[in-house]
Structure 1
Amino acid sequence: MSLDPTGYDALSFDCYGTLIDWEAGIAAVIGPWARRHRPEMSDEGVLVAYSENEAAVLRETPGILYPDALREAFRRTGEALGLPVTDIEADTLGDSVPDWPAFDDSAEALAILKDHYALVILSNVHRAGFAASNERLGVEFDEILTAQDIGSYKPNPANFEALERRAAERGWSGRLLHVAQSLFHDHVPAQQFGLPGVWINRRHDRPGWGATPDPQASVDIAAEYPSLMDFARDVERALGREN
């Protein structure tokens, strides 16, 4: 571990991709849709096609609610692939956030980390969507900042400005560590604010970026782990409190 865990009072988390398996949730809808038209398409292939369209929707319409962003991104993906997307299919994806599964280690790892830090959510989602996901995570977060609250989506700097303001209000300035999977949405913009980051590289055993766009930038990460539990256990070891 290349960072000193005693140097932080709070951890801010991305949720979807880090704590909740958004790729599995999205692929459960758009994968079968794609194969109805093109049986040879893999989940990975359709996620890659989807990724740039969602990023564009969130960039172009920062005030849109996330379910509507999912619907529009699905329609644009269909247009890009030359495949039809019905309103029912778009609604299925738009309404799917509460069904997205948590990663197997998320709840247990968060419980461990909660013993050592305040926990903050900085998420590209709406309040109701996160509330449903939080039931799967089983931990009480000290602060929750959603795209609906802020009025824009990561990697917009406004989201990290909101995080910085909240950290200052809580006395965490300079003692906040950002924990996330996405280099594009999280670590690249966080670095611009001097916010150190832990990369939970959920795709460590797969090539490519999947549903997350290529960051197209170098990033200086304080530490990298293949899972959240690996990070949580390392924190316990470093703090001398491992059970």
Structure 2
Amino acid sequence: MTKSLTTFKYLSFDVVGTLIDFEGGLTSCLKEIGTESGVEVDGEEALALYRAARYSDATDLFPDDLVRVYLLIAPKLGLPAEKAYGERLRDSAKSWKAFPDSVKALADLKQHYRLIAMTNARRWAFEFFSKELGNPFHAAFTADDTGTEKPDPAFFHQVFDFVSSEGASKDDILHVAQSQYHDIGISRQLGMTNCWIQRRHAQKGYGGTIEPAEFTKPDYHFTSMVELAEAVRIANEN
């Protein structure tokens, strides 16, 4: 039986794709470059190319890796394959927007839990994301802090060690994420309770996120952060 939402002390969050609209940020920047170059960029095509380029053996930490990725996908999109444009795509992360429901939902959830960010992004980028989200986090773990990326179990174990230092355990954490590949599957394998925020529920495919080898049925399933916040509110009133 799935544990009640009232039993958790912490909510751990994937950030990019769950709270920050990275697909919108990526495609917006690529379309701007396309407009300047007289090329119409299809957003879904760009995301598919990004996904294929991003998940290779030559990847660097995110979002620094966007420079390399851009140079790979630009010719296929008809865009100028110049490093300066790749750097522009990387730097666009500084202005990526939160999903419309993220800030309010996090503020509401913060009244009930300690919020932990778990992101494959580098610390420099996370600082911009956190500010965009209203700096709601009790603690944050980035690729720079952990030396690895999800779905590596080592990333999660560092979070387990942190909550242990505060007298809690992984059983006190509800892990919230949109990525089946990076978060939902591995959190299940590690014995965590998880919550899938299906951001692409109205779209086909996995967009900019790698497709999992197999689908993991989550403990909780919502299509938005506001639905999670509302479920928590109701649980606390009952």
Question: Normalized against structure 2, the TM-score is what?
Answer: 0.90
Identity of aligned residues (%): 34
CA offset at residue 160 of structure 1? 1.6
Matched, 1:88 2:73: no
Which runs of structure 1 show a deviation greater than 3 angstroms over 4 or more consecutive aligned residues? 31-39, 78-84
CA offset at residue 87 of structure 1? 0.9
- Aligned counterpart in structure 2 of residue 205 of structure 1, from 175, 199, 202: 202
Q: 1:92 to 1:165 in 2, by over 3 A?
A: same
Q: Which AA in structure 1 matches 2:84?
A: I
- Aligned counterpart in structure 2 of residue 170 of structure 1, from 120, 145, 166: 166
1:1-243 matches, within 5 Å, as 3-33=3-33, 36=37, 39=40, 41-56=41-56, 60-61=58-59, 64-78=60-74, 84-173=80-169, 174-240=171-237
Separation of aligned partners in 1, 2:148 and 2:216: 22
Of 85-94 and 30-39, deviating more is: 30-39
Per the alignment, in what secondary structure is the counterpart of residue 55 of structure 2?
A: helix
Q: Which AA in structure 2 matches 1:109?
A: A
CA offset at residue 78 of structure 1? 3.3
Separation of aligned partners in 2, 1:83 and 1:103: 27
Separation of aligned partners in 2, 1:52 and 1:236: 39
CA offset at residue 230 of structure 1? 0.7
Separation of aligned partners in 2, 1:199 and 1:187: 7
CA offset at residue 206 of structure 1? 0.9
Separation of aligned partners in 2, 1:84 and 1:133: 28
Q: Which AA in structure 2 matches 1:44?
A: E
CA offset at residue 50 of structure 1? 0.5
Q: 1:67 to 1:139 in 2, by over 3 A?
A: closer
Separation of aligned partners in 1, 2:226 and 2:101: 6
Q: Which AA in structure 2 matches 1:75?
A: L
Separation of aligned partners in 2, 1:105 and 1:180: 14
CA offset at residue 7 of structure 1? 1.9
CA offset at residue 224 of structure 1? 0.8
CA offset at residue 82 of structure 1? 7.7
Separation of aligned partners in 1, 2:206 and 2:80: 25
Separation of aligned partners in 2, 1:207 and 1:84: 29
Separation of aligned partners in 1, 2:217 and 2:157: 20
RMSD of the alignment, in Å?
Answer: 2.2
CA offset at residue 216 of structure 1? 2.0
Residues 164-200 of structure 1: per-residue CA shift (max 9 Å, x gap):
2222222331111100111111111212211121011
CA offset at residue 83 of structure 1? 5.8
CA offset at residue 37 of structure 1? 7.3
Of 158-167 and 212-221, deviating more is: 158-167
CA offset at residue 68 of structure 1? 2.2
Please list every run of 5 or more consecutive structure 1 residues that lacks an aligned counterpart in the other structure.
Answer: none
2:107·2:136 contact (CA, 8 Å) conserved in 1? no
